[in-house]
Structure 1
Amino acid sequence: MILERQRLRSGRVVLLSDYIGGEGPGSGGAGHAALDSYRALRAAGADVRAVAGFGGGGGIAADRFASLGGGDLRAGGAGDMLRAIWNPAAQVALAGELADADPDTTLIILHQWTRYLSPAALRVVGRFPAMIYMHDYFWPCPNGLYYDFQQAQPCTRRPMHAACLTANCDRQGRVQKLGRVARQAVRQIATHGDPGRRLFLHLSEHAQRTAAPLLQGERHAILYNPLPLGEAWSPPPHPRHDIGYFGRLESDKGIAPLIDAIVAGGHTGLFVGEGALQPRLAQTRGITHHPWKPRNAMAAAMRSCGVVVLPSLWNETWGLIVPEAMAAGVPVLVSQRAGSAELVRRFGGGQTFDPGRPGDLAAKLTGMLGTPPVPTRQHDALRAFLSPERHAARIMQLAESQFGLDLRDTARRVSARASPSPTASPESPPACPPPPPR
């Protein structure tokens, strides 16, 4: 082990994303995950700083955060659509921000890149070893979700091959699809290089099984999003709503089938989020709708529900609302197409359903609400499995094994050499129960 440590190069991390943290539809779960990951790495003693394409740093210290001063290109017109394909301003700004970084020892951890950074910034990233966070499927798939919005089912086409190029699969129609195809073609050119210089990080076993066949010849690893430590667990109060949903109100999230199931069962529901299906919520009796809430208010809102549901129709890479609801002591019902369904199989605390099976969602909801639903009894094990410490240890272990980089900051290394003490191996995370046989 000492000899292996001596062979490692002293490294640092630049966590890069379109946005970091934040609230509302302009941010989303990926922004929270990026901030949580930064905090976990920093707490573990990694030499890490963060760069965002636009917005603030979610409370990251000023000397460890930089914004490229851009904006969300999704909100603009034709000019912004072209910049989403190739944004020269992002390339120049990022190149300047990384001008003093050593391409041999600076590890880029890339989160989101489609809203401002564009393939132009990815060309800069290509100079460095990189871990690419797969919050979605934008790296291989033009529309990002590997989902046919017109057919309302997961896609089975080979991305960027003939059947894909001619398919009218995008949420916003053929014109938007053409723009996304152009961006994808440019991305392929801009990031053409040595696969040994990058590693794709998948948020679940399910996500890796979905994406890996689309990224042949690349390297892959699973990295679970950390679950920040919240309030001490306590039994939730008597629910005011039968069913809760928290997230985007869009068709791919399974909102319409969930509304139908609520109406058919005579249930009440709380929906928190924004999106195209808001008007239908307003027209449905028994449903209460609130816009985005600050993250620190989400747990209380979840605890007002009997069951929190993630009804995704696309092969969702994770689904943050599931571990957050489980940690809040609320039972969950999760689509089998969501990566976080793995948590139910591992820790209990709810059920899964098959969105491709008619009536399964409604039947499972009725069954769960017909008897008092039981939250996970393995609360501490869930926390350990998704702990920030385990998340950071996994990244640091991957940096060592895949890139030969020791990410501990200089002060921590000097302290460790001066006062050696035994530490837990990053390859030995906190114990947790094995998943049941499948």
Structure 2
Amino acid sequence: MNFIAKAGLLTVRFRGFVAVSDMRLIVVNDVSVVRGGATKVAIQCLQACVRAVVDCTFFVGDDGAGLKEYGLHIPTVALGEKPLRDGPDITNIFDRHFNKRAYEALSKLLWESSEETVVHVHGWNQILSPSIFHALAQSRARVIITAHDFFLNCPNGGRLNYKSGEICPVKPMSFECLATNCDKRNYLHKLWRFRRMLGQIGVGNAFWERIEVILVHEKMEAYLTPGPIGNFQTLRTPTEPLTWRPTEPWRRERIMFLGRMTWEKGVRTLGEALRMTGEPATLIGRGPLLEEMQVMLPHCWVPGWLDDATVSELADQARIFVMPSRMPEPYGLVAAEAIMSGIPVIISSNALIAEEIEENGAGLVFKSGDAASLAEALLKVKNDGLVQKLAEGARAFADKIAPSRPEWERRMIAIYAGKTAFLAA
């Protein structure tokens, strides 16, 4: 366990208002290496605090090495453990229900903090476990949680039945939920997840009623209620274009996918649609289905993960981006990044952002999990005129889809400082 000395408390002025007065912020996340949206936002919170000269500590389950990539030198408490996705072992059966080391380390950190401590939690299911909530409930710290998924009330975190492929209509943690085999692995793993969620709920309603939840999309609230959690505010993830160069997608040919190669991200649906149409495409990402896609789609380029500079160059050549997720995708960062680049998208009906993309003429929506529906959409965008019209819609929608990075930082620091009411935005 690695403890690094904390910085002093400061009072500063941030873009026109007093941001912090004798406040300490603790940002909590499973990992420091960016492989998904939750960690990316956690890092952005740390960067915002550095720019605002906020006294900030990072509490992280892994070794904290991911901070080096961003040149962040901040006080860090790192447990040095590896996430479940990197290969679980027998000890995980017990300590990922309740990670005692995480509980003790966070309790110690909170005990050393002043009463003005604010704790911002991002991810906890890979390493930290619900034990962190037991530590937080015993402190007087103000607790903010960004809901990047549905692990606040759903055992599998996706509000998705991984067996049927449908959005789950069952009340989370009910007897019907217990009896439903919805897990991506097997029913025994569902029972393990259910037991872990009982430990999370067991912190008590008094704690859950006082936490503040930041939603990355306003439609998430319907999936997190009813229940003891009631303090919601929407703050969409700051987004930058995949490419800053002017794009003319109707003159391009490349169909693109960028994301994790997993079933819930709709990769198999996309693979089937590409095989049905024979359309060439580039699928960028890593995950358990990478090799399957490479074999399934010999007429496509499936290189695995690529660095940001290469993705930017390829995006400049993109005709369309596809986001085929089968889960109720809370936001869909790639879709927003493409739209901000003036590139239209084809998006699953299960994505929470799908309706507004269609209403703003920035893309097409297909029926989630339906390869034939996606194939039909892929054939539609062979029409140059349609793609040009969708690209115009994407450019018009770009300024509305997400806040700019400076605006997001201003609002986040205001939330930390209690300068904004915690109400739905």
- Separation in 1, partners of 2:314, 2:419: 41
**Residues 1:62 and 2:89 aligned together:** no
The Cα shift of 1:82 comes to 1.6
The Cα shift of 1:322 comes to 1.0
The Cα shift of 1:256 comes to 1.8
The Cα shift of 1:286 comes to 1.7
Aligned CA distance change for structure 1 residues 212 and 426 (closer, same or farther; 3 Å)? closer
The correspondence for 2:146, drawn from 118, 133, 137, is 133
2:3 maps to which residue? none
Contact 2:341 2:395 in 1 (8 A): no
The correspondence for 1:112, drawn from 123, 126, 130, is 123
What SS class does the counterpart of residue 270 from structure 1 fall into? strand
Aligned CA distance change for structure 1 residues 83 and 232 (closer, same or farther; 3 Å)? same
The Cα shift of 1:276 comes to 3.0
CA distances 1:232-252 after superposition (whole Å, capped 9, x unpaired) = 442258877532111122221
Aligned CA distance change for structure 1 residues 16 and 236 (closer, same or farther; 3 Å)? farther
Q: Which runs of 5+ in 2 are unaligned?
A: 1-16
2:31 maps to which residue? 19
Q: Which has the higher contact order (CA 8 A, sep 6+)?
A: 1
Q: How does 1:214-229 map to 2 (within 5 A)?
A: 215-228=227-240
Aligned CA distance change for structure 1 residues 122 and 60 (closer, same or farther; 3 Å)? farther
Aligned CA distance change for structure 1 residues 106 and 298 (closer, same or farther; 3 Å)? farther
- Separation in 1, partners of 2:162, 2:422: 41
Aligned residues: 395
Contact 1:73 1:81 in 2 (8 A): no
1:389 maps to which residue? 406
What SS class does the counterpart of residue 264 from structure 1 fall into? helix
The correspondence for 1:37, drawn from 35, 38, 45, is 45
1:355 maps to which residue? 368
**Residues 1:377 and 2:395 aligned together:** yes
The aligned amino acid for 1:43 is R
Per mean C-alpha deviation after superposition, the further-off stretch among 248-257 and 232-241 is 232-241
Aligned CA distance change for structure 1 residues 311 and 134 (closer, same or farther; 3 Å)? same
2:278 maps to which residue? 266
The Cα shift of 1:12 comes to 3.1
CA distances 1:11-54 after superposition (whole Å, capped 9, x unpaired) = 332111001343xxxx3222112212332344355443322211
The aligned amino acid for 1:161 is S
- Separation in 2, partners of 1:397, 1:70: 33
1:323 maps to which residue? 336
- Separation in 2, partners of 1:346, 1:240: 24
Q: How does 1:14-413 map to 2 (within 5 A)?
A: 14-22=26-34, 27-44=35-52, 46-54=54-62, 55-56=64-65, 57=67, 58-74=69-85, 75-102=87-114, 104-126=115-137, 127=139, 128-190=141-203, 192-213=205-226, 215-228=227-240, 232-235=244-247, 242-281=254-293, 282-341=295-354, 344-345=357-358, 348-355=361-368, 359-372=372-385, 373-374=387-388, 375=391, 376-378=394-396, 381-382=399-400, 385-399=402-416, 405=418
The Cα shift of 1:363 comes to 1.9
The Cα shift of 1:264 comes to 2.0
Aligned CA distance change for structure 1 residues 244 and 314 (closer, same or farther; 3 Å)? same
- Separation in 2, partners of 1:144, 1:380: 29
Per mean C-alpha deviation after superposition, the further-off stretch among 226-235 and 64-73 is 226-235
1:432 maps to which residue? none
The aligned amino acid for 2:268 is A
The Cα shift of 1:359 comes to 3.5
What SS class does the counterpart of residue 170 from structure 1 fall into? coil
Per mean C-alpha deviation after superposition, the further-off stretch among 283-292 and 296-305 is 296-305
Per mean C-alpha deviation after superposition, the further-off stretch among 136-145 and 273-282 is 273-282
Contact 1:68 1:94 in 2 (8 A): no
Aligned CA RMSD, in angstroms, stands at: 3.0
Contact 2:249 2:318 in 1 (8 A): no
Q: Which runs of 5+ in 1 are unaligned?
A: 408-424, 430-438
TM-score (norm 2): 0.83
- Separation in 2, partners of 1:341, 1:39: 30
CA distances 1:39-83 after superposition (whole Å, capped 9, x unpaired) = 234435544332221142242532344423222134122211221
Per mean C-alpha deviation after superposition, the further-off stretch among 327-336 and 134-143 is 327-336
What SS class does the counterpart of residue 290 from structure 1 fall into? strand
Aligned CA distance change for structure 1 residues 237 and 261 (closer, same or farther; 3 Å)? closer
Percent of pairs identical after alignment?
Answer: 23
TM-score (norm 1): 0.81
